[in-house]
Amino acid sequence: MTNQSAPLRAHVTGWGRYVPEQILTNADLEKMVDTNDEWIVSRTGIRERRVAAAHETTASMASVAALRAIRTAGLDPDDIDLILLATLTPDYWMPSTAALVKEAIGNQRAAAMDVAAACSGFVYAFSTAQAYVTSGLAKHVLVIGAELLTRFLDYTDRSTCILFGDGAGAVVVSASEEPGGSLGIELTTEPQGAYMIWLPAGGAKSPPSRETVARGEHYIRMEGRETYRFATRTLASTALESVRKAGLEASDVSLFIPHQANIRIIEAVAKGLDLPMDRMFVNLDRYGNTSAASVPIALAEAVNSGRVAIGDNICIVAFGAGFTSGAATIEWTADPARGIAGDAAVRASDIHVRLPLDWDSVDPIPPALAELMARDPLNVPLDDVVPGEPESAHREVHA
Ligand code: ACO
């Protein structure tokens, strides 16, 4: 035996998602702010989004998606060497949400850290996982995007509160000498746009105080038009650069999985790449913008709904605050059928994120949402599985 082995490559071996049950429709928002379904659908494509229940947190949603991805990969939690969690809505400033997830999924070994690159965070974390895996520093990396945005929205600001929702998605990136896997990465950061999407207070520049809260500076603020311009200018070029680094042309990519911010932005990407819309995966009508969770939720749904086959080239691409953008072109190598069983193997109620012993938070549901829920329960009990998925998937696994 010589020690001349093939270079290590980064393959996606597991994927999973979790979205909360409660649905906030455009009709619900009409009762809260001066807006209407027609405006929201025509300007954004969003029809509804999910809202985390009071007992849910970014860590709890992340843990469900993560364990599903681990089960899909056919691994045990302790096979994971590194946990990367992309979020702009961590449970706490410290510890990292990734550390809480490590405990909740029952992993004893991994290093764990959060990644901050807003809506591009999952792609940034994915690229970090690729670097660890191809350098031999880690064999299996868990990459999570998880957000609880509905607790950081001003429900009197109709230009932002209609856009965002909650959820989590995750993948396992594994080392292998087999060809395929992640082939080309492109990341950009343009700090000229730093204050186009931001959360002004709560950090070192403006620590939380009565004044910052009174001024609503703990809520997300956004210059919509400037952000829109950045997104339409950057998404297609970032995707194309990643595709070229993979040695491919855009037409070689069977499915683009873009950040789910706005249908008009995705249409502009398709136009920029000179591709039809059926090459773009879209689920923002059901979830709105879930920031760092958007790409991994969409990836899991695309694979589980039969849109991705072994040997397909896919491209995940995102943009977000910073301004940041990121794309990864991946040759898919995992059996798509594994995802549905992986999802069904883990119920949300299986997950427990340990709380501090001597501290209890105040009610985390924003008053405007709480009032609406009390008056007109949003609780449409839908299962958190891909629509159209056979119910028998649960019974088979639990039998
Ligand atoms: N309902 C009704 N009217 C509204 C609403 C609403 N929810 N929101 C804004 N309007 C009004 C405005 O007040 C304005 O009225 P005026 O003409 O009388 O002043 C009019 O609609 C047009 O407003 P615009 O802001 O120009 O609307 P636009 O077509 O640009 O759509 C939107 C706004 C949807 C926010 C769009 O700019 C957009 O999608 N931008 C990108 C946002 C984005 O993707 N952000 C995510 C970043 S990712 C991250 O890192 C968090």
399 lies in a domain? no
Check: CB of residue 88 under 8 Å from CB of residue 118: yes
- The pocket around ligand 1, CB under 6 angstroms, is made up of 35, 39-40, 43-44, 118-119, 158-159, 162, 197, 222, 224-225, 227-228, 231, 261-262, 289, 291, 320-321
Distance CA 120, CA 266 (A): 15
**Where are the alpha helices (H) located in 95-223, listed in sequence order?**
97-104, 121-134, 210-214
pLDDT tens for the chain, 399 residues: list them.
445 688 999 999 999 999 999 999 999 999 999 999 999 999 999 999 999 999 999 999 999 999 999 999 999 999 999 999 999 999 999 999 999 999 999 999 999 999 999 999 999 999 999 999 999 999 999 999 999 999 999 999 999 999 999 999 999 999 999 999 999 999 999 999 999 999 999 999 999 999 999 999 999 999 999 999 999 999 999 999 999 999 999 999 999 999 999 999 999 999 999 999 999 999 999 999 999 999 999 999 999 999 999 999 999 999 999 999 999 999 999 999 999 999 999 999 999 999 888 888 888 888 888 887 776 655 544 444 444 443 333 333 332
Domain count, the chain: 1
Which residue is it, tokens 């945005």?
149
Give the strand order in the sheet containing 166-176.
Answer: 9-18, 166-176, 140-148, 82-86, 111-115
The pLDDT score that the predictor gives to residue 125 is 98
Q: Judge whether 370 lies within some domain.
A: yes
Residues 187, 191, 192, 193, CA torsion sign: positive
pLDDT of residue 373: 72
Note the pLDDT of residue 224: 95
Q: Which of 159, 197, 238, 289 to mutate to test the pocket of ligand 1 (most atoms within 8 A of CB)?
A: 159
Bridge partners of residue 326, in order along the sequence: 187, 318
Question: Rounded distance, CA 18 to CA 169, Å?
Answer: 6
Coil, strand or helix at 381: coil
Q: Please indicate, yes or no, whether the overall pTM of this predicted structure exceeds 0.85.
A: yes
Q: Residue 337, SS3? A: coil
Residue 125 resides in a domain: yes
Q: Which of 140, 259, 313, 394 is catalytic?
A: 259
Instruction: Please check whether residue 43 lies inside any domain of the structure.
Output: yes
Cβ–Cβ < 8 Å for 310, 289: no
Q: Whose CA is nearest to atom 14 of ligand 1?
A: 159
The SS3 assignment for 48 reads strand
| Cα–Cα distance for residue pair 187/380, rounded to 1 Å | 39
Q: Give the pLDDT score at 395.
A: 34
Could you tell me if residue 22 is inside a domain?
Answer: yes
Does residue 163 lie within any of the structural domains?
yes
Q: Is residue 279 part of a domain?
A: yes
The CATH number covering residue 276 comes to 3.40.47.10
Residue 398 lies in a domain: no
Half-sphere exposure of 399 (CA within 13 A, CB side): 8
Residue 74, classed as helix, strand or coil, is coil
Which range marks the domain in which residue 234 is found? Answer: 9-392
